[in-house]
Amino acid sequence: MSFESKPVLDPKDWQLLELLQEDARTGYAELGRQVGLSAPATAERVKRLEDAGVIRGYRAHIDPRKLGYAIEAVIRLRCDGGVCARIGQLLADIPEVLDYRRLAGEDSGSLRVIAMSVSHLQAVLDRILKIHSSVSTTTLVVLQAPYTNRPLSRASWLDGRAVWNDDTGA
Protein backbone atom coordinates (compact mmCIF):
# COMPACT_ATOMS: atom_id res chain seq x y z
CA MET A 1 0.00 0.00 0.00
CA SER A 2 1.37 3.42 -0.88
CA PHE A 3 0.71 6.63 0.95
CA GLU A 4 0.61 9.98 -0.80
CA SER A 5 2.35 12.94 0.74
CA LYS A 6 -0.27 15.29 2.10
CA PRO A 7 0.25 19.03 2.38
CA VAL A 8 0.18 20.48 5.86
CA LEU A 9 -2.77 22.85 6.11
CA ASP A 10 -3.08 25.46 8.79
CA PRO A 11 -6.35 27.03 9.99
CA LYS A 12 -6.07 29.88 7.44
CA ASP A 13 -5.75 27.36 4.59
CA TRP A 14 -8.87 25.61 5.85
CA GLN A 15 -10.73 28.93 6.09
CA LEU A 16 -9.81 29.66 2.48
CA LEU A 17 -10.93 26.20 1.36
CA GLU A 18 -14.25 26.57 3.16
CA LEU A 19 -14.86 30.03 1.66
CA LEU A 20 -13.91 28.92 -1.85
CA GLN A 21 -16.27 25.95 -1.59
CA GLU A 22 -19.08 28.38 -0.72
CA ASP A 23 -18.26 30.73 -3.61
CA ALA A 24 -15.24 30.11 -5.82
CA ARG A 25 -15.77 33.48 -7.53
CA THR A 26 -14.81 35.42 -4.40
CA GLY A 27 -11.80 37.64 -5.16
CA TYR A 28 -8.50 37.46 -3.33
CA ALA A 29 -9.04 40.80 -1.61
CA GLU A 30 -12.38 39.69 -0.16
CA LEU A 31 -11.05 36.24 0.79
CA GLY A 32 -8.08 37.90 2.46
CA ARG A 33 -10.33 40.29 4.36
CA GLN A 34 -12.38 37.36 5.68
CA VAL A 35 -9.34 35.38 6.86
CA GLY A 36 -7.11 38.28 7.92
CA LEU A 37 -4.52 38.18 5.10
CA SER A 38 -3.48 40.55 2.33
CA ALA A 39 -4.69 39.85 -1.20
CA PRO A 40 -1.17 38.80 -2.37
CA ALA A 41 -0.74 36.45 0.61
CA THR A 42 -4.17 34.98 -0.10
CA ALA A 43 -3.35 34.51 -3.79
CA GLU A 44 -0.08 32.78 -2.84
CA ARG A 45 -1.86 30.39 -0.46
CA VAL A 46 -4.55 29.55 -3.02
CA LYS A 47 -1.87 28.94 -5.67
CA ARG A 48 -0.03 26.62 -3.25
CA LEU A 49 -3.27 24.70 -2.62
CA GLU A 50 -3.82 24.41 -6.38
CA ASP A 51 -0.24 23.27 -7.01
CA ALA A 52 -0.56 20.65 -4.26
CA GLY A 53 -3.72 19.30 -5.93
CA VAL A 54 -5.92 20.14 -2.94
CA ILE A 55 -7.92 22.50 -5.17
CA ARG A 56 -8.50 20.58 -8.39
CA GLY A 57 -10.50 23.19 -10.25
CA TYR A 58 -13.44 25.56 -10.26
CA ARG A 59 -16.82 25.03 -11.85
CA ALA A 60 -20.41 26.18 -11.91
CA HIS A 61 -22.95 23.99 -10.12
CA ILE A 62 -25.87 23.51 -12.48
CA ASP A 63 -29.32 22.34 -11.40
CA PRO A 64 -30.32 19.58 -13.88
CA ARG A 65 -34.00 20.04 -12.98
CA LYS A 66 -33.90 23.60 -14.31
CA LEU A 67 -32.79 22.14 -17.66
CA GLY A 68 -35.63 19.61 -17.81
CA TYR A 69 -33.97 16.60 -16.17
CA ALA A 70 -36.81 15.66 -13.82
CA ILE A 71 -35.35 12.32 -12.78
CA GLU A 72 -32.14 11.55 -10.93
CA ALA A 73 -31.28 7.94 -10.27
CA VAL A 74 -28.55 5.90 -8.65
CA ILE A 75 -27.79 2.73 -10.55
CA ARG A 76 -26.06 -0.12 -8.80
CA LEU A 77 -23.95 -1.95 -11.33
CA ARG A 78 -22.70 -5.52 -11.29
CA CYS A 79 -20.38 -7.01 -13.89
CA ASP A 80 -17.99 -9.89 -14.37
CA GLY A 81 -14.35 -10.21 -15.32
CA GLY A 82 -12.44 -7.63 -17.28
CA VAL A 83 -15.55 -5.62 -18.08
CA CYS A 84 -15.44 -4.10 -14.59
CA ALA A 85 -11.93 -2.78 -15.17
CA ARG A 86 -13.06 -1.07 -18.41
CA ILE A 87 -16.55 -0.01 -17.42
CA GLY A 88 -15.56 3.61 -16.74
CA GLN A 89 -14.27 3.98 -20.30
CA LEU A 90 -17.35 2.25 -21.69
CA LEU A 91 -19.71 4.59 -19.81
CA ALA A 92 -17.89 7.72 -21.02
CA ASP A 93 -20.09 7.90 -24.13
CA ILE A 94 -23.31 8.10 -22.09
CA PRO A 95 -23.64 11.79 -21.14
CA GLU A 96 -26.51 11.21 -18.72
CA VAL A 97 -24.05 9.36 -16.44
CA LEU A 98 -22.83 12.18 -14.20
CA ASP A 99 -20.79 10.16 -11.71
CA TYR A 100 -19.29 6.68 -11.66
CA ARG A 101 -17.67 4.98 -8.70
CA ARG A 102 -15.99 1.59 -9.02
CA LEU A 103 -16.70 -0.37 -5.84
CA ALA A 104 -15.49 -3.33 -3.84
CA GLY A 105 -18.21 -5.56 -2.44
CA GLU A 106 -21.46 -6.96 -3.78
CA ASP A 107 -21.81 -4.22 -6.40
CA SER A 108 -19.10 -3.46 -8.95
CA GLY A 109 -20.02 0.19 -9.31
CA SER A 110 -22.44 2.99 -8.65
CA LEU A 111 -23.69 5.49 -11.22
CA ARG A 112 -25.56 8.74 -10.79
CA VAL A 113 -27.65 9.47 -13.86
CA ILE A 114 -30.18 12.07 -14.94
CA ALA A 115 -33.10 11.74 -17.32
CA MET A 116 -35.93 13.93 -18.58
CA SER A 117 -38.60 11.23 -18.28
CA VAL A 118 -39.14 7.58 -17.41
CA SER A 119 -38.77 6.64 -21.08
CA HIS A 120 -35.50 8.61 -21.24
CA LEU A 121 -34.27 6.76 -18.12
CA GLN A 122 -35.23 3.48 -19.78
CA ALA A 123 -33.20 4.41 -22.87
CA VAL A 124 -30.18 5.24 -20.66
CA LEU A 125 -30.52 1.88 -18.89
CA ASP A 126 -30.76 0.09 -22.24
CA ARG A 127 -27.49 1.74 -23.35
CA ILE A 128 -25.80 0.72 -20.09
CA LEU A 129 -27.01 -2.88 -20.42
CA LYS A 130 -25.75 -3.07 -24.03
CA ILE A 131 -22.17 -2.53 -22.82
CA HIS A 132 -21.73 -6.23 -22.11
CA SER A 133 -23.88 -9.28 -21.41
CA SER A 134 -22.37 -9.65 -17.92
CA VAL A 135 -23.62 -6.20 -16.81
CA SER A 136 -26.69 -6.08 -14.58
CA THR A 137 -28.26 -3.14 -12.81
CA THR A 138 -30.52 -2.13 -9.94
CA THR A 139 -32.04 1.33 -10.34
CA LEU A 140 -32.92 3.58 -7.42
CA VAL A 141 -34.82 6.80 -8.16
CA VAL A 142 -33.70 9.74 -6.01
CA LEU A 143 -36.61 11.41 -4.21
CA GLN A 144 -34.57 14.06 -2.38
CA ALA A 145 -30.92 15.03 -2.15
CA PRO A 146 -30.47 17.24 0.91
CA TYR A 147 -26.67 16.93 0.64
CA THR A 148 -24.90 17.17 -2.70
CA ASN A 149 -21.33 18.30 -3.06
CA ARG A 150 -21.17 18.94 0.67
CA PRO A 151 -18.14 21.11 1.45
CA LEU A 152 -15.17 19.61 3.23
CA SER A 153 -14.41 21.33 6.50
CA ARG A 154 -11.52 21.50 8.93
CA ALA A 155 -13.84 20.22 11.69
CA SER A 156 -14.63 17.00 9.80
CA TRP A 157 -10.93 16.57 8.94
CA LEU A 158 -9.95 16.95 12.62
CA ASP A 159 -12.65 14.46 13.67
CA GLY A 160 -11.44 11.98 11.04
CA ARG A 161 -7.81 12.38 12.10
CA ALA A 162 -8.75 11.77 15.75
CA VAL A 163 -10.52 8.50 14.87
CA TRP A 164 -7.70 7.44 12.52
CA ASN A 165 -5.09 8.12 15.22
CA ASP A 166 -7.13 6.07 17.74
CA ASP A 167 -7.31 3.18 15.23
CA THR A 168 -3.60 3.24 14.38
CA GLY A 169 -2.24 4.13 17.78
CA ALA A 170 -0.43 7.09 16.25
pLDDT in tens, 55-78: 999 998 899 999 999 999 999 999
Output phi, psi for 71, to 5 deg: -120, 130
Q: What is the CATH number of domain 64-141?
A: 3.30.70.920
All structural domains of the chain with their residue ranges? 9-60, 64-141
* CATH class of the domain at 9-60: mainly alpha
pLDDT band at 144 (very low <50, low <70, confident <90, very high): very high
Q: Are strands 97-102 and 109-115 parallel, antiparallel or unpaired?
A: antiparallel
Calculate mean pLDDT across residues 85-114: 93
Please name the helix (run of DSSP H) or strand (run of DSSP E) that holds residue 20, with its range, or none: helix 11-22
Q: Give pLDDT, residue 82.
A: 79
Q: Give pLDDT, residue 5.
A: 60
At 130 the three-state DSSP class reads coil
- Share above pLDDT 70 across residues of the chain, in percent, rounded to a whole number: 93
Calculate mean pLDDT across residues 126-155: 90
Mutual angle of helices 11-22 and 154-168, in 10-degree steps: 130
